Every structure is written in structure tokens, then in C-alpha cells.
A = this chain, B = another copy of it.
Amino acid sequence: MKAYLFIKGFLFDNIMEYQLTHSEENYLKEIFHLSGVDAFRVSTNNLAARLNSKASSITDMLQKLAEKELVSYVKYKGCNLTDKGEGIAVQIIRKHRLWETFLVMKLNFGWEEVHDIAEQLEHIDSTKLIDSLDHFLDYPKFDPHGDPIPDKDGKITYRKAKIKLSETVVNSLVEIVSVNEDSASLLTYLEKNNLVLGICIRIIEKYEFDKSMRIALENGNELNLSKKVIENIGVKFISKT
């Protein structure tokens, strides 16, 4: 069952002993994100788009990662993380989210400023560092965007019954529990409109013609939110009138 690996003239009996490059780590992380909870197969073009890279570069790297038994790769059929690969991906995500939490909680960064810096910090290699940071932050469960932080052992506790705001029905009352962190400008927009974690909103009306939505905040303020916005907010159902 043990896998042996011959790299650069050295024999490794455990992949963990071999340090991955930033690039390799980014591939694993992105495959994890694209696979979703059901571990879909990820296509070459998909990965290329997300990594701002070309399909041919992806193919090259997938072959290398398959060689190292971090992904299962079938020509023309896309790829999947192996258990090893997934384990590594989750640890990188743990580091990313803990660093984002540190930046917001301790250094007073805005939630729209932390992702790019965390993209660098997630590659720092020290288990003791990340576990100490986790302790220092008092073992946070979610990052500044509401995403769950994997624990030391890689266990991720997903939010139960989280749906997109765009999927809610008129008259329901919901609480914002996460936001998509991809765009800093969206995060700034959300904060300006007080659409932050923990806020409750009521869906007043949904418009079919452009898939937008009218909502009310707790203070009675009403807002129109575009399709793009409501697809990037995660909510928890509270009640319905």
C-alpha cells in the first residue's frame, strides 16, 4: 500500500517529506475548489481559466502531479485529487483562512484586503507556526468571509443548510453566513451596504427579467441587489411570513 517515489535522485517513502512548489500547491488547491463537495472530475480548461494559465501548461502539470500520486489523471478525462493530494490541499486552505482571520482580527485589515496577502502566506511551510497561530486566534471556526477553517487534522465542518441568496423565495427571512471572497470590489460594495456576516435580511420581491431581487434590512432600509450580487452571498434560512 505504501507508495515509493524517486525524485531528483532521492527516494521518498512518504510524499509528505517532499516539499511542493508554490505552483504545485496552487494547482492542488484549485482542483479541490473546482471539485466541490462531491469531488467532480475537473477539466483541463476549467483549471486553466481559474489559474490564469493555458490548457497545455495544465496538462504538463497534471502529468507531474499524477506521477507524484497527488491527482488521478486520465487523458482527455480531467483529474481528481487523491487522498494525499486532498490532504495537502486542505492544509493549504487551512493556512489561507487562518492567515485571513489573523489579518482581520489582529491587524485590523478589511475583509476585502486579506485574500491577496493570504495567497502568499498560505505557502509558508511550518506546522508549528500554523498551529500556534490557530491557538493565538483561539481556534476560529470560520474565516472573515464565512468559510469554514479546516482543523489540524484536515476536518472541515461545513455549514449545514447554507444556500445562495439567489435561491431563496420571496418573504423569507435569512441570515448572511458567507460571501464569495473572489472580488475585492464586491466585498467593498457589500460592506458599504451593510451586507456583512450575521446580518438578517427579508426578501421582498424577485424580478424574473434580470434575476435581481429587492430586500429589506433589519432597520427597514430597502435595497435592490443584482443577480451577480445575490449569487455571491450565502445565507441560512430563519423563517417565512
Interface residues of A (CB under 8 A from B): 103, 106-109, 113, 116-117, 120-121, 124-126, 128-129, 132-133, 136
Q: Which residues of B contact A103 (CB under 8 A)?
A: 129, 132
> Would A124 and B133 count as touching, CB distance under 8 A?
no
Report B-chain residues with C-beta under 8 Å of the C-beta of A133.
107
Q: How far is the CA of A197 from the CA of B102 in the complex (A)?
A: 29
Which of chain B's residues have a CB closer than 8 A to the CB of A126? 116-117, 120
* This chain's copy number in the assembly: 2
* Residues on B with beta carbons closer than 8 Å to the beta carbon of A116: 126
List 5 additional A-B contacts (Cβ < 8 Å) besides A107-B133, A120-B126, A124-B124. Answer: A103-B129, A107-B136, A117-B124, A117-B129, A121-B124
Taking CB atoms, residues of chain B closer than 8 Å to A113 are 128
Complex-state Cα separation, A120 to B107, whole angstroms: 20
- Chain B CB count within 10 A is highest, among A108, A113, A117, A129, for A129
| 20 A-B pairs in the complex with CB atoms less than 8 angstroms apart | A103-B129, A103-B132, A106-B136, A107-B129, A107-B132, A107-B133, A107-B136, A108-B132, A109-B128, A109-B132, A113-B128, A116-B126, A117-B124, A117-B126, A117-B129, A120-B124, A120-B125, A120-B126, A121-B124, A124-B124
* Residues of B close to A109: CB separation below 8 A: 128, 132
Q: How far is the CA of A116 from the CA of B121 in the complex (A)?
A: 15
| Cα distance A116–B133 in the bound complex, in angstroms | 17
Minimum CB–CB distance for A91 against chain B, Å: 16
Query: In the complex, which residues of chain B have a beta carbon less than 8 angstroms from the beta carbon of A108?
Result: 132
By beta carbon, the residue of chain B nearest A107 is: B132
Q: Which residues of chain B come closer than 8 Å to A132, judged between CB atoms? A: 103, 107-109
A103, closest chain B residue (CB): B129
Q: Which residues of B contact A121 (CB under 8 A)?
A: 124
Residues of B within 8 A of A120 (CB): 124-126
Q: How far is the CA of A117 from the CA of B129 in the complex (A)?
A: 8
A125 CB contacts on chain B under 8 angstroms: 120
A23 CB to nearest B CB, Å: 13
Identify the closest chain B residue to A117 (Cβ).
B126
